[in-house]
């Protein structure tokens, strides 16, 4: 693969973020609760990070966390 392709892939990689107590019901266009884990790209997270609505999750956050959050949200 060329370096341009690799750079494009890393730019769109999603990272795990935790919703803070400062957030309302909506963050990055998603309905959330405090403590929920969201997986966002850097571009999606930038504004919410600046406002203090999310923070970068620790290394334990994974795609499994996102699946659990989605299931819990559907039960509400």
67 within some domain: yes
26 within some domain: yes
Phi-psi region of 31 (alpha: psi -120 to 50; beta: other; left: phi over 0): beta
Helical H segments across 1-76, by residue range: 3-11, 42-51, 63-75
Residue 17 has what DSSP assignment?
A: E
Average pLDDT score over the chain: 81
pLDDT of residue 25: 96
The pTM (predicted TM-score) of the whole model is 0.64
- Give bridge partners of residue 18 from the DSSP assignment: 37, 55
Domain that holds residue 33: 11-75
64 within some domain: yes
Q: How far apart are CA 18 and CA 49, in angstroms?
A: 10
pLDDT band at 58 (very low <50, low <70, confident <90, very high): confident
pLDDT band at 1 (very low <50, low <70, confident <90, very high): very low
């Amino acid at each position: 693969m060329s370096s341009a392709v690799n750079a494009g892939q890393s730019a769109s990689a999603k990272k795990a973020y935790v919703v803070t107590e400062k957030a309302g019901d909506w963050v990055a266009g998603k309905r959330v609760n405090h403590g929920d884990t969201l997986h966002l790209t850097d571009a999606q997270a930038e504004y919410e990070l600046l406002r203090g609505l999310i923070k970068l999750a620790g290394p334990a956050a994974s795609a499994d966390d996102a699946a659990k959050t989605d299931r819990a949200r559907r039960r509400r």
